[in-house]
Amino acid sequence: MKIDYKKELETAARNMILVHEPRVLIRLIVRMLVQKVKIKHAGILLYDKNKDSYVLMVSGGHAGFRVPAGFARMDLDNPLIRFFREHRAKKIFGDGALTYDALKKKLKNNAKVSSKALLKKVLYQMEIFQAVACIPSYFRDELMAVVLLGKKKNGHCFAGEEIDFFVALALDMAMAIRNAHLFRDLETELEKKYRLFIHTVVSLAAAIEAKDRYTRGHTERVTNLSLELAKKIGRKDKEARSSKFLEHLNIAGLLHDIGKIGIPEFILNKNGSLTAAERKKMEEHPLLGSTILQPIDEIEDAILGVKYHHEKFDGTGYPEGLKGQQIPFIAAIISVADAFDAMTTDRPYRKGLDKKEAIKEIRQASGRQFDPRVVTAFVELCQEGKV
C-alpha cells in the first residue's frame, strides 16, 4: 500500500525546524494534515510552559471541530493528557499512538484493565473531539503535544502503516518544537541583554545629567524628538528608517551630552553667560564625549552623533567645522532636536522661548545652522502637533 502524501509530509517535516515560533509551526502542521492526508479535521494540543497546560490549535478542515467551551485549554489532570503523560498508549496498547477503535475494543472485551476508569474518560474525550486517532509527540520523555486526527474524507480508517508514519511525524514535530523553544529562549536572552545595555546607558546618562541642574529631562526629550524626526524623514529615506539607524540614533541621543562629565561643575552650573575661556572649555564636550565612548566599537555610528551634534550646516560649528553633507546625518538630526530643546528650556539668566518662536528660529536657520532635510521634517512634525 502506497502512502501518497508521505513524501510531501516528510519534506514539510524537514522544513519544520526552520519555523521558530511553536504556534506557527503547529498551525502549519494542522493545515498540512488536513490538506495532504485529506482528513476531515485535525487538532494539536500544544504544551504551554507559562500556563502549565495544553492549548488546542485546530483546523476547521472539512467538517470543523466543534470545540466545547472550556476545552481550548487542558490542564495536566485532563484524562487524555494524563493518559499520554503517563505513557499509557505504550503500556496498555503496546503502541505509540491510540486509535478510537483499539480503545473501544479494549473496553468492550471487558478485559481486566487496571485503568479502566481512565480509559473510559479518554474515550469520552476522543468523542468530544470526533478524533479517531491520537498521536503523542514526545521530546525524550516529555509530552510536547498531542495530535488529534478526525476521520478521513473518504470514510476509510487509517492503516497501521499510516499510523506508524504519523508517529514518526510526531517525533519530528517534537524535535521541531524543542528546537523552536531553544531558539525562543536564546532570542529572549538576546532581547534582555540589549535592554540591559539600554537601561545602563539611560541610568548613567541620567546620573550625569543630574550634575547639570538646568537641563533635567533634556536627554530624554532630545532622544524622543530625534527619533520622531528620523521616522518622519524615513518615509522617504531608506537609511533613516532602518532599524540600525534608529538604534544608533537612540543611543546617540541618550549619550550626546555625556562629555559634560569632563566639564567643571562651576561652568556647567554657572548663573549667567560664560566667558570666552569658559565657552571654549564647554565646547569641548562633544569631542570629550566621543573620546569617552570610543572604546565601545559596537556603537561607532552612534558616536558620530555625539561627536558632531554641534556642527553647523554652513561649516561654522565645532569641533571640526564640517559642512553640509559632511556632517553625519545622525548628528544633523540630534542638532535640531538639541537646539529646539535648549531654546525652549528656562535658564536662570533667561526665560525659554515659547514654542512658536523657537520653531520660527529653527526655520530661519535652515541651511545655515541646520540641515534643510531635518528642518522640513521638524516643521511637518510641528504642523501635526507632535512637537
Secondary structure tally for the chain: helices H, strands E: 17, 6
Minimum Å gap between C-beta 293 and its own copies is 6
Contacts with its own copies, 199-228, as mask; x by CB under 8 A:
xxxxxx-xxx-xx-----------------
Single out the segment in contact with its own copies by CB under 8 A; choices: 173-181, 307-315, 318-326, 377-385.
173-181
The residue from 76, 194, 280, 355 that contacts its own copies (CB under 8 A) is 194
CA 341, CA 214: separation in Å to the nearest integer?
12
Among 11-19, 66-74, 305-313, 355-363, which window interacts with its own copies (CB under 8 A)? 11-19
What is the β-pairing status of strands 133-139 and 53-59? unpaired
Tell me whether strands 142-149 and 73-74 are parallel, antiparallel or unpaired.
Answer: unpaired
CB of 8 to its own copies, least distance (A): 13
CA distance 222 to 199: 17
Query: Of 124 and 194, which has the nearer Cβ to its own copies?
Result: 194
Rule CB under 8 A: is residue 161 a binding residue for its own copies? Answer: no
Q: How far apart are CB 205 and its own copies at their closest, in Å? A: 9
Q: Which stretch binds its own copies (CB under 8 A): 75-83, 171-179, 233-241, 374-382?
A: 171-179
Q: Give the whole-angstrom CA distance, residue 317 versus residue 371.
A: 13
- Site size for its own copies (CB under 8 A): 48
Q: With binding defined as CB under 8 A, does residue 265 bind its own copies?
A: yes
264 binds its own copies (CB under 8 A): yes
Q: Which of 229, 216, 290, 221 is nearest to 256 (CA)?
A: 290
Contact 99, 39 (CB under 8 A): no
- Residue linked to cell 529631562: 217
Please state whether the peptide bond connecting residue 136 to the residue before it is cis, i.e. omega within 30 degrees of 0: no
Which residue in 12, 17, 102, 246 binds its own copies (CB under 8 A)?
Answer: 17
How far CA 269 is from CA of 208, 245, 266, 278, 336, in Å, comes to 13, 33, 5, 12, 23
Does residue number 52 form part of the binding site for its own copies (CB under 8 A)?
no
> Computed over its alpha carbons, how large is the radius of gyration of the chain?
33
| Residue ranges in contact with its own copies by CB under 8 A | 10, 14-15, 17-18, 168, 171-172, 175-176, 178-179, 182-183, 186-187, 189-190, 192-197, 199-204, 206-208, 210-211, 258, 261-262, 264-265, 292-299
